[in-house]
Amino acid sequence: MSDKPHAYIICGTPRSGSTLICEMLAASGVAGRPNSYFRPQDIAWWAEKWGVSLAEGIETAGFDRAYLEAMHREGRAGTGILGVRIMYSSLVEAARRLNRAAGRAGNVAEALRAAFGPVLYIHLSRRDKLGQAVSLARAEQTGLWHLRADGSVLEGGETQPEPVYDGARIGTILDELERDDAAWERFFAEHGIEPLGLTYEGVTAGPQKALGDIFAALGLDRAMAETQPTPTAKMADSLSAEWVARFGRERA
């Protein structure tokens, strides 16, 4: 990339390791505070948290401009780099709001560059799509999304219902994950983008190395990543393995 990035976008799908990376980037204190700021269900929540007025509703250019200004402030977290996470399912929403804020029409890559300047795209993918689908199916049922490294709840309720195997739902999720990850690949190809590629498997096996790769791509000292603690715990267990095996048998 010829220009030093002013921002980075973590391009992923659910249960691909993005929360681990986002938590580490935010905790580093040098690379912004990435989160899913364009997730449609959360926009009003973020706006209220940031003090963006909801008086005229969230479907106006004025709101989008104020929201974008707040995103720059909060997503930078006092650093010179803006961090954003976008799941493919939220990409259209991002383009819609950015174009409306700017009073223009353009493709999503143009809208992102116009809003954020030179962008480092980070493609975070999970090779084991079936394991990813099982993880998402369980989280949907239990409401438990993430654990801290010490085993305490990071996101979700302290008590959870017992999950029940649902092969049809796992199959639907698997199809969606494969489709969305392929769509990211097409997006990069169509817009001539060469993303930094990371995998769930690599990130969870070596979180500090993955963080160092991001730092280096941002023009930061990769050595700063070596002392960053790993903030989350892997949640896959014997039940996950049982569901993966059962689904495989059913689809054989």
DSSP readout, 133-202? HHHHHHHHHH---EEETTS-EEES-SS-PPP---HHHHHHHHHHHHHHHHHHHHHHHHTT--PEEEEHHH
Q: What is the pTM (predicted TM-score) of this model?
A: 0.93
Strands of the sheet containing 232-233, edge to edge, are 153-155, 146-148, 232-233
Q: One-letter amino acid identity for 186?
A: R
| pLDDT digits (tens), the chain, 252 positions | 457 899 999 999 999 999 999 999 999 999 999 999 999 999 999 999 999 999 999 999 999 999 999 999 999 999 999 999 999 999 999 999 999 999 988 899 999 999 999 999 999 999 999 999 999 999 999 888 777 877 777 777 777 889 999 999 999 999 999 999 999 999 999 999 999 999 999 999 999 999 999 999 999 999 999 999 988 878 788 999 999 999 999 998
Backbone angles phi, psi at 15, to 5 degrees: 65, 40
Cα 158 from Cα 143, distance rounded (Å): 9
* 3-class state of residue 10 by DSSP: strand
The CATH architecture that domain 7-129+147-156+194-233 belongs to is 3-Layer(aba) Sandwich (3.40)
